Amino acid sequence: MKLDSWSSHYAIREKRNLEKDLFPHFATRHIGEIEPIELLAAVRQVEERGALDVAHRVLTTAGQVWRYAVATGRAKMDVTSDIKGALKPHHGKHFAAITDPVKVGELIRVIRGYQGGPIVRAALQLAPLLFQRPGELRAAAWAEFDLDEALWTIPAVRMKRRVEGKKNGDPHLVPLPTQAVEILRKLHPLTGNGSLCFHGERSHERPISDNTLRAALLTLGYGPDVQSVHGFRATARTLLAEELNIDPLVIEAQLAHAVKDANGRAYNRTQYMKHRATMMQQWADYLDNLARGAVVIPFKAA
């Protein structure tokens, strides 16, 4: 089942997963000899250990391998097409997120009182303010920020996109509210000599881990079943729409979601920049008011 080397890091990672789960069964076999029922039996062993998500990903990656084998003459057919639907369905869980304004205010106050290291504290404070994916925040580089222009430009390669989107897509733009700029300016003397904003303790060449932020929330009394780091996106999406009456298209653009219009065309992620900048400042001010326990009057739609 050995194929030509894959170029992208993502493909290499998936290839390793495939090797771990399937190669013990088929390492000495030619890919063209493997029958659908044999592949299903191997993937079912992953399913039986309760890793439904992994089982489905293994089958998806196997499909990519078999289609490549067909295209290069190594196999006559994609055997994975015959066993689609045979696995138990996997229903992913939503990331825990607090959406009650009063409780969000309590959470922001607790985060601001975090007594851990300054690098983790800064990342923790920015997570609800900017509501980007945890990996995009943790691996942020100083070169991506223009603090004078209050703009964070996340390269396409770091975004959650398909391979083509990572290679040729537009960067994702995040307007920075004044509160975020202040946090980053205070952080810069600590980590600005390196490339990463939130580098780890052991290595300044690697960012803090997702576990680091999860552990920080846990020490504050917010376990993964109450509020996750990724859940700040759902918190922002809900309150921006329901409490601040922001246009959903503007919110989705800031979340970097590919939303299609009435004609089925995906809009350009760089649109709505003026509205997004206004929204991000409104959001930061709203969180400040919640943290103070103030009564917040909803803004008109942007």
CA torsion sign, 11 to 12 to 18 to 23? positive
On whether residue 152 sits in a domain, the answer given is yes
What percent of the chain is modeled with pLDDT above 70?
Answer: 81
pLDDT tens digits along 64-110: 888 888 889 988 888 888 887 888 776 555 678 999 999 999 999 99
Name the nearest CA neighbour of 239 among 156, 92, 131, 94.
131
pLDDT tens digits along 234-266: 999 999 999 999 988 899 889 887 655 554 445
Residues 213 and 183 in one domain: yes
Structure tokens at 256: 């970097």
CATH code of 43's domain = 1.10.150.130
Alpha carbons 107 and 67: distance in angstroms, whole number: 48
Residues 170 and 248 in one domain: yes
Are the CB atoms for 123 and 208 separated by under 8 Å? yes
pLDDT tens digits along 136-175: 999 999 999 999 999 999 888 888 777 777 777 788 899 9
On whether residue 135 sits in a domain, the answer given is yes
Structure tokens at 126: 């920015």
Structural domain total, the chain: 2
Residues 65 and 110 in one domain: no
Residues 66 and 127 in one domain: no
| Strands in 103-176 per DSSP E | 145-146, 151-154, 172-175
Domain boundary among 30, 47, 82: 82
Residues 113 and 194 in one domain: yes
> What spatial distance separates the first Cα and last Cα of the chain, rounded to whole Å?
55
On whether residue 283 sits in a domain, the answer given is yes
Residues 138 and 204 in one domain: yes
Residues 63 and 157 in one domain: no
Look over the chain and give the mean of its residue pLDDT values, rounded to a whole number: 82
The reported pLDDT for the residue numbered 14 is 46
Residues 130 and 187 in one domain: yes
On whether residue 197 sits in a domain, the answer given is yes
On whether residue 300 sits in a domain, the answer given is no
Residues 136 and 187 in one domain: yes
On whether residue 164 sits in a domain, the answer given is yes
Residues 77 and 107 in one domain: no
Alpha carbons 40 and 28: distance in angstroms, whole number: 18
> Which range of residues forms the domain containing residue 22?
9-82
Name the nearest CA neighbour of 36 among 75, 71, 83, 88.
83
Are the CB atoms for 170 and 155 separated by under 8 Å? no
